[in-house]
């Protein structure tokens, strides 16, 4: 059984897909804790699914490093096999990444290396591309430039808004995430082989 800690900043709709997958007794992973950097809406999923939550507010720490150290301490309490950033909108300090990688995944709403950063959907729309995508990567110390574990193209359709395109991308993200966790748990994907650092 693969134990997961999932970090969020927002609604946690991708997290919900993972929690639904984990309800299946045959699925070899479970979420042991949900963490956030703010009072994220998705923390309510903890109550709904009976899972512990923790919040380490970025704004109540004197530096990114101090915040990161506290976040890492909270994560390590759970002895997780894998940490998933699922809409976690803060850059982790290098020593947090170093402590967790390669067992640290991030979902991203674009076909990396295209459109990295916090506005992957907006940037793809602004660029006028015909297709963008969804990616799942191992987090390393760069911004969205870690090894790609899974990715898939998603079309941009006429009349798309940021919301409609993002929702189409998230449908793919959820499938990639649930499948990748399964593959890692079953040993079909070895994250150590995908590590840059
Ligand atoms: C997802 O699309 C995820 O890839 C993105 O935030 C969304 C979270 O949605 N993450 C990033 O943009 C990270 N740079 P959710 O809260 O509904 O799961």
| CATH code where residue 143 lies | 3.40.50.170
73-113 confidence digits (pLDDT tens): 999 999 999 999 999 999 999 999 999 999 999 999 999 99
Block residue for tokens 């079953």: 186
pTM exceeding the 0.85 threshold for the entire prediction: yes
Cα–Cα distance, 10 to 170 (Å, whole number): 13
Residue 12 marked in a binding site: yes
pLDDT tens track for 20-66 = 999 999 999 999 999 999 999 999 999 999 999 999 999 999 999 99
Query: What's the number of domains the chain is made of?
Result: 1
Q: How far apart are the C-alpha atoms of 181 and 155, rounded to whole Å?
A: 25
Atom of ligand 1 nearest to the CA of 8: 16
CA of 15 to the centre of ligand 1 (A): 10
The closest residue, in CA terms, to atom 17 on ligand 1 is 13
C-alpha distance from residue 116 to each of 44, 131, 135, 137 (Å): 28, 15, 10, 12
Q: Tell me which of 148, 169, 170 to substitute to probe ligand 1's pocket, judged by most ligand atoms within 8 Å of the beta carbon.
A: 170
Range of the domain at 157: 2-194
């Amino acid at each position: 059984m693969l134990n997961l800690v999932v970090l969020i900043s927002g609604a946690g709709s991708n997290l919900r897909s993972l929690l639904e997958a984990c309800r299946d007794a045959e699925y070899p992973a479970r979420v042991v804790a949900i963490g956030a950097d703010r009072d994220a809406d998705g923390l309510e999923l903890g109550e709904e699914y009976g899972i512990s939550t923790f919040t380490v507010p970025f704004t109540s720490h004197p530096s990114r490093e101090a915040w990161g150290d506290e976040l890492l301490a909270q994560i390590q309490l759970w002895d997780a096999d894998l940490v998933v950033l699922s809409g976690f909108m803060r850059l982790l300090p290098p020593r947090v990444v170093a402590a967790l990688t390669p067992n640290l995944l991030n979902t991203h709403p674009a076909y990396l290396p295209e459109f990295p950063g916090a506005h992957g959907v907006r940037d793809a729309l602004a660029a006028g591309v015909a297709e963008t995508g969804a990616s799942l990567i191992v987090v390393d110390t760069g911004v969205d430039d870690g090894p790609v574990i899974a990715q898939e193209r998603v079309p941009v359709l006429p009349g798309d808004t940021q919301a409609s395109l993002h929702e189409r991308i998230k449908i793919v993200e959820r499938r990639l995430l649930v499948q990748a966790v399964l593959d890692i748990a079953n040993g079909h994907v070895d994250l150590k082989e995908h590590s840059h650092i």
